[in-house]
Structure 1
Amino acid sequence: MTRLLQIEAIKLWNNRSSRILIIAYFVLLTSIALIAAIKFDIGPIQFHLADQGIFNFPYIWHFNTYITAWFKLFLAIIIVSMMANEYSNKTIKQNLIDGLSKKEFILSKFITVVVFALISTVFVFVVSLVLGLIFSDYNEVGIIFSDLEYLIAFFAKLVGFFSFCLFLGMLVKRSAFALGFLVLWQAVEGIIYGLLVWRTSKSLADTVHQFMPLEAMASLIKEPFSRLGAVQSVANQLGEEFSKDYAIHFSEILIVLVWVAFFIYASYWLLKKRDL
């Protein structure tokens, strides 16, 4: 397993574009700390974003995992490019000639996906912990380390998304087309959902929609903004009430893991069937 990871690390680090994107991605993960510096005055009102409770434990785990999950598109570009380069540079054929089995080849890609997701999760944990210790109003150990399941959901979300990108890279073999297919698939899920709402019922549409790959990944971590005390207060004054379920559910993680297994097996099946 270490040998397979070393092979992928050498390929990625020797590619200038991949190296730049990887560095940019982790810089962006760290730069979420800059949110704490956002301050502005509106007349006599002074607004400091960090004072709004976004860095309070345990809310920070929810907020930061939701925000940083948007940066995964940087690694998506790397993963689909990684597969496209294997075909365009003929390295996939050379690896197989040198003794790497097709199963080991796909396993090396999957290990890379898992490592990217794991390092990202550790990064978010460390940055969130530091920000929380600086800005949170609640510093009891029990509160600090509650709601860590958001990190588990974040990890599962990244593994699922990167596995999907790996499959698309294997399927299309061109990075631009693979990314285009990713956008197209997002639209397809939305169209299917809309048709189900129109032809059946919203409850049935929601049930079916939660099993679609991108929606399953997206719904792992719900938007955190309506949990903020300020938003809740404004809603109460307007006579509105939020009854949203923000919890992480094992069943939702399981759906994503099933898609991960499907994407990895489908990638392996495509590799076995293709004449390289």
Structure 2
Amino acid sequence: MLRLLTIEFHKLKHNTASKVLSIIYFGLLTSIALIAAIKFEFGDFKLHFAEMGIFNFPYIWHFNTYVASIFKFFLLLVIVSMMANEYSYKTLKQNLIDGLSKKEFILSKFYAVIAFALASTVFVFIVSLVLGLFYSDYNELAIITSDLEYILAFFIKLVGFFSFGLFLGILVKRSAFAVGAMFIWFIFEWIIYGVLGWKFVSWDTAQSIKNFLPLESMMNLIKEPGSRLGPVKSAASAMGETFTKSYAVEFSTILIVIAWTFIFIYLSYALLKKRDL
């Protein structure tokens, strides 16, 4: 495993675009901390995000992982360009000539995906912990360590998303086309949902089916945290509205995303094994 990872990071070390995108990505993750400094004042109206409780434990685990997952597209570009460069610079063929098997080649890419996801998860965990210890009104250990399943969900979400990107990178061989293919698949999932709900089953059943599709299941891992925030609930309650939504990380959704991850890695290997290089 270490040998295969070393090969991948040696390639990335000499790829300027990948290094720039990685720096931007981790810079954006760090910028979550800047939310705490945002203050708006309009006459008597004052808004300070840190005082709204977004950095309170355990809510911060939910909020930060949701916001951080928005930035995952920067690392997706690194993953798909990593594959595109293998074809452009003939390094894939050279690796196979040098004795690397196709299985080892796919494993090296998958290990890189896990490494990126793990580094992102640890980074978000540290940033969230520091912000929480600084701003949270609740610092009891039991409260701090509750809802940590969002950190696990974040890691699984990234691994699944990047594995999908890896498969598309191998399929189409061009980074721009791979990103475009993922966007088309996103639209395709909505088309499936619309056609099923309109013509064949109820909308609830259509949504249940859509929940099994790759991108939808990944999005379902960490649901939007905005309506969970205290001030939002209070405002909704004042208008006679109540939120009955479940924000929990569902074990079934974790299993679905893990299943898709293995499917994408297997298809990547099957495609590479079949393809004449």
Q: Pairwise mapping of residues 52-71 of structure 1 onto structure 2 (< 5 A)?
A: 52-71=52-71
TM normalised by structure 2 equals 0.99
User: In the TM superposition, what is the alpha-carbon distance from 1:23 to its structure 2 partner?
Assistant: 1.0
Q: Per-residue deviation at 1:202? A: 1.1
Counterpart check, 1:72 vs 2:75: no
Any unmatched runs of 5+ in structure 1? none
1:84 paired residue number: 84
CA deviation map 1:130-149 (0-9, x unaligned): 00001000000000011000
Q: Report deviation, 1:11.
A: 0.5
Match of 1:211 in 2: 212
- Measured against aligned partners, the alpha-carbon deviations of 1:143-167 in whole angstroms (never above 9, x if no partner) come to 0011000000000000000000000
Matches of 2:261 and 2:125 in 1, distance apart? 23
Write the deviation string for residues 199-228 of structure 1: whole angstroms up to 9, x where unpaired: 221121011000000000000000000001
Supply the AA of the counterpart residue of 2:91. Answer: T
Structure 1 counterpart of 2:214, one-letter code: P
Shift of residue 249 of structure 1?
Answer: 1.2
Shift of 1:44: 1.2
Q: How does 1:101-140 map to 2 (within 5 A)?
A: 101-140=101-140
Structure 1 ranges of 4+ moved more than 4 A = none
Q: For residues 250 and 101 of structure 2, what CA distance do their matches in structure 1 show?
A: 37
Kindly report the root-mean-square deviation, in angstroms, between the aligned alpha carbons of the 2 structures. Answer: 0.6
Separation (CA, whole Å) in 2 of partners of 1:229 and 1:27: 29
CA displacement, residues 68-110 of structure 1 (integer Å, 9 cap, x when unaligned): 0011000100111110100111000000000000000000000
What are the equivalent positions in structure 2 for 1:241-252 lying under 5 Å apart? 241-252=242-253
Say whether 1:47 aligns with 2:47: yes
1:240 paired to 2:248: no
User: Aligned residue for 1:93?
Assistant: 93
SS in structure 2 at match of 1:219: helix
3-state SS of paired residue (2:242):
coil
- AA paired with 2:119? I
Alignment of 1:170-189 (within 5 A): 170-189=170-189
Partner SS state of residue 106, structure 1: helix
SS in structure 1 of the partner of residue 46 of structure 2: strand
Alignment match, 1:229: 230
> What secondary structure does 1:40 align onto?
strand
Task: After TM superposition, give the deviation of residue 37 of structure 1 in Å.
Answer: 0.5
Distance 2:115 2:27 in 1: 17
Q: Secondary structure at the match of 1:41?
A: strand
In structure 2, distance between residues paired with 1:51 and 1:119: 29
1:243 shift after superposition:
0.3
Secondary structure of 2:71's counterpart equals helix
Q: 1:271 and 2:257 equivalent?
A: no
In the alignment, does 2:197 pair up with 1:190?
no
Q: Identity over aligned residues, as a percent?
A: 66
Q: Give the aligned partner of residue 3 of structure 1.
A: 3
Rounded to whole Å, the distance in 2 between the matches of 1:275 and 1:47 is: 60
The whole-number CA distance in structure 1 between the counterparts of 2:229 and 2:132 is: 15
Q: Deviations over 1:7-49 (max 9, x none)?
A: 0001011001001111111111111000000001021122111
Distance 1:275 1:92 in 2: 12
What CA distance in whole angstroms lies between the structure 2 residues aligned with 1:39 and 1:82? 40
1:257 & 1:176 partners in 2: Cα distance? 26
Structure 2 match to 1:151: 151
1:178-211, CA deviations, whole angstroms, 9 ceiling, x for partnerless residues? Answer: 1110110000001111111112211210110000
Query: What is the letter of the counterpart of residue 261 of structure 1?
Result: F
Is the counterpart of residue 220 in structure 1 residue 221 in structure 2? yes
